[in-house]
Structure 1
Amino acid sequence: MKGTTVRPRALVYGDVDLNMIDGSAIWAQGMVQALARAGCEVTLVLKAAVRTGRLVDPLRALPGVTVRSPHAERLVDGSRAMAPKRAAAVLARIDAEAPHDLVVVRGRDLAAKLAAGPLSGRLWTYLTDVPQSATELTTADRADLRRIADASRILLCQTEELRGFLEGAVPATAGKSVPFPPVVVLPDGLEPRAPGTPDGRALRLVYTGKFAPRWNTYEMTSLPRQLAVRGVDAELHMVGDKIHDDPADPAFATRMRTALESGEGVIWHGGHARAEAMRLTAACDIGLSWRHPDMDASLELSTKVLECGALGVPVVLNRTPMHERLLGADYPLFAATEDDVLDALTLIGKNPDVLTLAADRCRSAAADFTLDAAADRLRAYLTRAFPEPSEQVLAVRGRRLRVGVAGHDLKFFTRLLDYLRSRSDMEIRVDHWPALKAHDEQRSQDLVDWADVVICEWCGPNALWYAEHKRPGQRLVVRLHRFELYAPWPKQLDIDAVDQVICVSPHYTDLTREITGWPAGKVVTIPNWVDDAQLDRPKLPGAEHHLGMIGIAPSRKRLDLGLDVVEELRRDDPRFTLFVKSKLPWEYWWIWQKDDERAHYEKVFRRIRRSKVLSGGVVFDSYGRDVASWLRRIGFVLSTSDDESFHLAPAEGMASGAVPALLPWPGAETIYDDRWIHETPQAMAASISATVSENRWETDRTLARTQVRNAYALDEVCRQWTDLLSGHSQTTPSPSRS
């Protein structure tokens, strides 16, 4: 996307046949509509030759949407639907005609093929067909998903459950996974079902979609007959024409077709365009989405359930944690067995109020899955993926600003680097040093010869080298962390060759000026970034009683003081639990070789083992990149360190909707509001207890989230870096306080 007047060009392909109605075909329709509404020029490529236009024709009529049929264009031979390998080649060929900004794909096999081709880096991959549990996920699966994640700009996840599972199982997905739930679009002119119950007619049940064993579609055909035995007059409307051939049950297709054609009380409408299928659904009373228990662990959400809800048609479905969060634990139409289904339908037949309650719940749930909501979501992702160019940046010699980044460890710079690379007004090259003091000198010199601006991440040997070798007129920016401030390199740095030194907090900015004696105007503060969009996820039940610590090594992180806090709380309320996400100290050789460090942790772990109050109250979770998912269970994030330069953990907790709780390490008050800082562990525990018992947790966490967004949100910090690199930074940022 080159500017505000240029619409991003999206190429869309689903490994789905749009001649048949099922959830994946509806996904393709909804994705194209949402992208178009979000401002994209959309090209949809079809997997199969068009045999019926009932799903495709409405898309052809949309402004800004082009439908490409490789079969009709003779890009493929024969009439068979494209296999993933062939589809990957066709998509690359279509893209080569006029490259697209993003390539939205559905289908794991296809995405794996595209990951190794020219579309890598532009993929927005919609992941659904992945193993649904850790026991099912093989080593080959993990490697496959890692390659897909590495090649994808964004991973679109249908549910929070799937997103969290992927981030825990495949670390490469963390930071790229974003929610994109099913899209529910009511056709023009179709009104939802009027509230009320059948009056003098049969209860109308409806199912739309594919007919397959685990979807219990054959069992559904016996419901009218069994309900008649219970005195409930009912008929079952079945919409669809895709009957599954099941290798494990070769007779299923014949049995299913016979039941559709001759089952008592069964009316088979066959396949229809989606608008007509929804019209048939709206004319019925109850939708059926009751499935085999094997599917209860699914991390995906049925589009049909949401469509029924939007139409005012309540649904019989399995009780799962996901469905309980969607509809409430007391939703009256949960069913696990055929008898449960019959009981629920009998209850509706004899108690009309139940139907009204269930319809209201489904209608309210579906309101979060509209086309407008999907378009808003995509618009936010597009804005972040394709930042608008700056006139200030483009003013440099009438071309893109050339920015070099040099350093041995870029882990604290990753998202800033992603952002800079995404800008159409900047060109980025990286000089990655293999070690702190080791680099390819020719590569570094090439960067000097090329760049307008060089950013040295860490004020180490890299900064010394670039300060010595920079060109006249070339700008040099050095980012200094706590680690280097007390090392010898700042004293050796030619500060006259440096344009600006960046520190991440006001306290360390002051310390740097004091220790080095550098000109005050050269040392400025740009805070650490917090990816607030990634961290903002719904909390899990019970989070208000869960404390979290991220990183407990070395000993100055003071896990012992965190134990003081949770021990104090558990004396009155054993629901309080401390969750620790960290590598353990013996996993750091440079820590564990020190006698005083080992002694500290031996004492801490001995205390945990022996304390009756702490027993069961401290949980150690594995270190990993899935912090955002882990924080869903955390209501308070603790910072009990002796000292920190910034301490990102409380800020990440705030962005997740947790309340920060800090001890007064030096400089904490320059980063975080005084209300979150407590003089002692006992005072911290008292504040946490009062926050929960006085029902202030929701209010406090909302305030904390607002504060962190105002001061440290990724977009805000990226804006400050853009101003700095363009030479228009005017003020030293300061945290939002109230």
Structure 2
Amino acid sequence: MTRRAMVYGHVDLNLIDGSAIWVQGIVQTLSNAGCQVDLVLKAPIKTDRLTAPLAALPNVTLVKPFEDALLPELSGKSNGLTPAQVSKVLKALDTKAPYDLVVVRGLPAVSRLVADDVATGRLWTYLTDVPQSMVEATPEAVDQLTAIAKASRFLLCQTEELRGFFEGLVPEACGRSVLFPPVAPEVTGVESPPPPSADSALKLVYTGKYAPRWNTLEMAALPEQLGARGVNAELHMVGDKVHDDPKDATYKERMQAALESGKGVIWHGGQPREKAMQLAGAAHVGLSWRDADLDDSLELSTKVLEYGVLGLPAVLNRTPMHERLLGPDYPLFVDGIGANGPDHGLGEVVDLIAAVATDPAKYALARERTGAAAAQHTMTKATERMAALIERAFPSPRPNLPAAGARPLRVVVAGHDMKFFTRIADYLAALPGVELRMDHWETLNRHDKERSRELLDWADVIICEWCGGNAIWYSKHKRSNQRLIIRLHRFELFTNYVKQVKIRNVDTVVCVNRHYADLTAQITKWPAEKIVVVPNWVDGAQLNRPKLTGAQFHLGMIGIAPARKRMDLALDVLAELRRDDKRFHLFVKSKQAWDYWWVWRQPAERAHVDDLMRRIRTDPNLRDAVVFDGFGPDVPAWLRGVGWVLSTSDDESFHLSPAEGMASGAVPAVLPWPGARTVYAEEWVHDSAAAIAAEIRTVTAEGTWEDRRAEAQRQVIAAFDLPVVCNTFADLLTGAPQS
């Protein structure tokens, strides 16, 4: 089914800069992914350098609010839309023919759409003009971003760094934030010049806007500076957007003069993207060197990727993000020496370029690294990412469900706590042929009986999340032509709830592992054929993120309360490892025991915590080696720094954290709590803390951590990935054979 997408970027497409290029790229990506795309323009078309290639696509329509006078106040005006006008235009278009997804870039525009309740739940939001440090994150800014996250289906994040920061700042972003990096165009017909030589001019190139913090005025001095070093150079500058600087009244005039008459500077003005790429492809070295104040930016310059597509080495600042992209030994990193001086480190840049221009090996290395980085950001890769997001938001039809046009299968999900089931419910609700409603219970036993009765009369299928009062009530009241599915967790099995369920009226009881399925049959005497195993899920798409440097020496533990989680055994593992190698650390993401009143009131629990803290303070192998991080949903970002996830509990029903770790690319290390071997493969289960330490020591010493984590990730995605579990529940709706 073709999806209808509306795209709006709060940027002027008459001017070529990174944000305008992004709009062009996202439209092309959606088009390639099979969507029918309406691009709403912010401003009247004065030049079609960016819009003409889009208008030529058969499934793209340009919506021109000014030319077509979509609002009375726009007739005859030439300035861009205000956020209020954006809201009116987009709402009118969506009301006339609702879109499946609405992609919007720009904080002012998105905020107004959210405030006006336009396309709520269908917004695919892309923001870069947001706080990128805790200092900038005022309470008002966090509230604004929280509202946006709640209203968005997806938050498209340009970099892993921005996604992780956003999730830590706004918990509601977790599960909605997805990585959608800049798109580098796939260019044909551009031949790179031979490597630099003394016989010809060294060609430098810059494409983009001209602004103080982009160091474009300093760049214009490079040909003359290099000439003084005996390097014949010329600088090609492409673009026509020159900024006014409120702090420097003469900046625009000086920048314009440098473009028009700078020594060795060849200014090509504004050009269509394809022409700009051709000009860049004829150069030897690209420039993307910026003011050191931008080193903390969580954004990635599209320019670097465009240069990489062309096989063009780029001069850029050394930052952790750039090191992960190109490697710490990349030869054209500006280290920032003298970056705060009047020339912003111009001398260092001259040294770098001169060195690479005369060293073929360095030049080849720089060229290879930028090309490899760009290969992960091509239009083909972007289209694959977009297609995966579309499938996630709009699952394909299933043969066991009603076809289009038929009455959908009516599903009710009932329960008091949906934290383990919300994502499954979201998937079921999005399935073609399903209509889903929620029966929210106030507690395990308390609910709105009138509401439950209405839903019961309406439903074809009822799913009870937890086997509490909800399961009892629905098992006593359901009709014979309705299906009832109960998902049983660990604690209910040892209560009176299970005794009150009318099992003859229940079609399926779901347990999360074979151990508890067998235990359920043994304790309840329910028919074994009604009890099935459907594991807990992990969101592989969210958890699979690049590991940070040193992760192979970082142990992780998620949840340490109550005492039966046995953090003391995790400390045993850490202490043993650190006797030989002080690089090992333990990272703990958890609430503390005192955060749970029912735990903290128990003397034994308080004593356990006291022992743990005293041991960490006094043991030289543990002191300064344990890091406590706050509890929160930002687990995928946290797991980037973790290479081993420990499960040292006395007992668990499933223990999700090792599975989450595996999906993130970490290696699980599990002690044999009852049922552990029915959840995790034998190779991950160890007999003691000492055995875990020995395994970790061996793997890191032999250099096989990469292989081990790849195998762990393969296993967990095959068995526990969210789509796998969701598909199983989709089959359970109609009793279809499980796939």
Bucket of the pairwise TM-score, normalised by the shorter protein: over 0.9
Cα distance in 2 for partners of 1:93, 1:694 equals 63
Query: What amino acid does structure 2 have at the position aligned with 1:614?
Result: L
Q: Tell me which amino acid in the other structure corresponds to 2:563.
A: S
After superposition, the C-alpha distances for 1:302-348 in whole angstroms (9 at most, x for unaligned) are 01111011112211111111111111111111112211111012213
Deviation at 1:697, TM superposition (A): 0.9
1:216 counterpart residue number: 215
What one-letter code is carried by the residue in structure 2 that aligns with 1:363? Answer: G
Contact 2:404 2:433 in 1 (8 A): no
Instruction: Output the amino acid matched with 2:512.
Output: V
Deviation of the 1:397 alpha carbon: 11
1:396 positional shift = 12
- Counterpart of 2:66 (choices 71, 74, 78) is 71
* SS of 2:260 mapped into structure 1: helix
**Distance in 2 of aligned mates of 1:286 and 1:395:** 57
* Contact 1:192–1:312 under 8 Å retained in 2: no
Residues 57-113 of structure 1, C-alpha deviations (whole Å, 9 max, x = no match)? 111111211111111111141211112221121111112222111111111121112
Could you tell me which amino acid in structure 1 is paired with residue 247 of structure 2?
A
Letter in structure 2 aligned against 1:274: R
The amino acid that maps onto 1:246 is D
Q: Is the 8 Å Cα contact of residues 195 and 312 (structure 1) preserved in structure 2?
A: no
Tell whether the 8 Å contact from 2:554 to 2:641 is kept in structure 1 after alignment.
Answer: yes
Q: Is the 8 A contact 1:195 1:356 kept in 2?
A: no
Asked whether 1:484 is paired with 2:492, we answer yes
Give the aligned residue type for 2:555: L
Q: Deviations over 1:660-696 (max 9, x none)?
A: 1000000001110011111111111111111111112
Report the counterpart of residue 185 of structure 1 in structure 2: 185
Which residue, 691, 698, 719 being the options, matches 1:711? 719
Distance 1:212 1:192 in 2: 30
CA distance in structure 2 between the partners assigned to 1:163 and 1:563 by the alignment: 31
How far, CA to CA, are the matches of 1:83 and 1:239 in structure 2?
29
Contact 1:194/1:312 (<8 A) preserved: no
Displacement after TM superposition at 1:132 (Å): 1.4
Q: CA deviation at 1:730?
A: 4.7
Q: Please state whether the residue corresponding to 2:420 is helix, strand or coil.
A: coil
C-alpha displacement of 1:114:
1.7
The answer for the alignment partner of 1:560 in structure 2 is 568
Match of 2:341? none
TM-score (norm 2): 0.96
State the distance in 2 between where 1:251 and 1:547 align.
55
2:434 to 426, 448, 462: 426
Name the counterpart of 1:330: 329
Q: Quote the residue 2:390 is aligned against.
A: 382
Inter-partner Cα distance in structure 2 for 1:581 and 1:113: 36
3-state SS in 1 of match to 2:155: strand
Any conservation in 1 of the 2:403–2:433 contact (CA below 8 Å)?
Answer: no
Equivalent position of 1:3 in the other structure: none
Match of 2:160 in 1: 160
Q: Distance in 2 between matches of 1:349 and 1:430?
A: 65
8 A contact 1:403–1:428 mirrored in 2:
yes
Aligned-pair CA distance for 1:436: 2.2
Instruction: Note if 1:575 corresponds to 2:583.
Output: yes
CA drift at 1:192:
4.1
CA distance in 1, matches of 2:148, 2:362: 46
The residue that corresponds to 1:265 in the other structure is: 264
Runs of 4+ in 1 over 4 A off after TM superposition: none
Partner of 1:316: 315
The answer on whether the counterparts of 1:9 and 1:102 sit within 8 Å (CA) in structure 2 is yes
* Mean Cα deviation higher: 629-638 or 464-473: 464-473
> What is the aligned partner in structure 1 of residue 300 from structure 2?
301
> What is the CA distance between 1:406 and its match in structure 2?
0.8
Equivalent position of 1:18 in the other structure:
13
Q: Quick one: structure 1 residues 186 and 390, their matched pair in 2 at CA, closer, same or farther if it must change by over 3 Å?
A: closer
How large is the RMSD of aligned CA atoms in angstroms?
1.4
Given the alignment of the two structures, is residue 46 of structure 1 paired with residue 41 of structure 2, yes or no? yes
- Measured after TM superposition, the shift of residue 592 of structure 1 is 0.2
Q: Quickly say closer, same or farther: Cα 1:293–1:333, change in 2 above 3 A.
A: same
Partner of 1:297: helix, strand, or coil?
Answer: coil
Number of the residue aligned with 2:604: 596
Cα distance in 1 between the residues matched to 2:479 and 2:519: 30
5 Å-filtered alignment, 1:643-722, equals: 643-722=651-730
Question: How far 1:383 moved relative to its partner?
Answer: 1.1
For 1:650, the aligned partner's letter is P
Tell me how far apart the structure 2 counterparts of residues 412 and 661 of structure 1 sit (CA, whole Å): 23
Provide structure 2 residue ranges, at least 5 long, that are not aligned to the other structure. Answer: 337-344
The equivalent residue for 1:735 is: none
SS at match of 1:369: coil
Matches within 5 A, 1:224-243: 224-243=223-242
Distance in 1 between the 2:483 and 2:566 partners? Answer: 40
Correspondence 1:724 to 2:719? no
Between 473-482 and 665-674, the greater mean CA deviation after superposition: 473-482
The one-letter code of the counterpart of 2:617 is R
What is residue 340 of structure 2 aligned with on the other side? none
SS in 2 for 1:301: coil
Q: Deviations over 1:540-583 (max 9, x none)?
A: 11111111000001111111111111111111111111111000
Superimposed CA distance per residue, residues 578-612 of structure 1 (whole angstroms, 9 cap, x where no aligned partner): 11100011011110011111111111111111111
In the alignment, what sits opposite 1:734? Answer: none
> Structure 2: which amino acid aligns with 1:523?
I
Secondary structure of the structure 1 residue equivalent to 2:231: coil
Q: Secondary structure of 2:463's match?
A: strand
Is this contact kept in 2: 1:54–1:274, CA < 8 A?
yes
The question of whether the paired residues in 2 share the 8 Å contact of 1:9 and 1:101 is answered with yes
Q: 1:395 to 1:51 in 2, by over 3 A?
A: closer
- 1:194 Cα deviation from its structure 2 partner: 3.6
Q: Which amino acid aligns with 1:478?
A: I
- Paired position in structure 2 for 1:274: 273
Instruction: Quote the residue 2:56 is aligned against.
Output: 61
Deviation at 1:202, TM superposition (A): 2.0
The alpha carbon displacement at 1:257 in A equals: 1.1
The AA in structure 2 aligned to 1:620 is F
Amino acid at match of 1:509: A
- Aligned with residue 341 of structure 1, among 349, 353, 357: 349
Q: Does 2:448 align with 1:453?
A: no
| Aligned-partner Cα distance in 1 for 2:83–2:217 | 31
Structure 1 equivalent of residue 146 of structure 2: 146
- Aligned equivalents of 2:107, 2:182: Cα separation in 1: 18
1:166-202 deviation per Cα after TM superposition (whole angstroms, max 9, x unaligned): 1111111111111111111145x43241442245232
**Residue aligning to 2:546:** 538
Partner Cα separation in structure 2 for residue 390 and residue 346 of structure 1: 61
1:678·1:684 contact (CA, 8 Å) conserved in 2? yes
Normalising by the residue count of structure 1, what TM-score does the alignment of the two structures yield? Answer: 0.96
1:254 is matched with 253
How many residue pairs get aligned? The number is 725
Do the aligned partners of 2:404 and 2:432 also contact (CA within 8 Å) in 1? Answer: no
| Equivalent residue letter for 2:67 | A
CA distance in 2, matches of 1:313, 1:687: 44
Give the Cα–Cα distance (whole angstroms) in 2 for the partners of residues 152 and 79 of structure 1: 31
Structure 2 vs 1, CA of residues 25 and 591 (structure 1 numbering), >3 Å: closer, same or farther?
same
Q: Equivalent residue for 1:205?
A: 204
1:375-429 Cα shifts (integer Å, max 9, x gaps): 0011111111111122311069932111101111111111111111211211111
**Equivalent residue letter for 1:267:** I
2:528 and 2:304 map into 1 onto residues whose CA distance is: 61
- Give how far 1:443 is off: 0.8
Mapped to 1, the partners of 2:364 and 2:607 lie a distance apart of: 64
Q: Would the alpha carbon gap of residues 35 and 259 (structure 1) be closer, same or farther in structure 2, given more than 3 Å must change?
A: same
Question: What letter corresponds to residue 215 of structure 1 in structure 2?
Answer: W
Deviates more, 1:655-664 or 1:190-199: 190-199
Contact 1:192 1:310 in 2 (8 A): no
Q: Could you say which residue in structure 2 is the equivalent of 1:196?
A: 195
**For residues 259 and 398 of structure 1, what CA distance do their matches in structure 2 show?**
68
SS at match of 1:391: coil
Is 1:362 the counterpart of 2:370? The answer is: yes
Distance between the aligned counterparts of 1:500 and 1:212, measured in 2?
64
The match for 2:621 is 613
What is the CA-CA distance between 1:350 and the residue it aligns to? 3.1
> Aligned AA for 1:155?
L
Cα distance, 1:641 vs structure 2: 0.5
Report deviation, 1:520. 0.9
Q: Is the 8 A contact 1:557 1:641 kept in 2?
A: yes
2:122 aligned partner, one-letter code: R
- How big is the shift at 1:354? 2.7
Report if aligned partners of 2:197, 2:358 keep a CA contact under 8 Å in 1: no
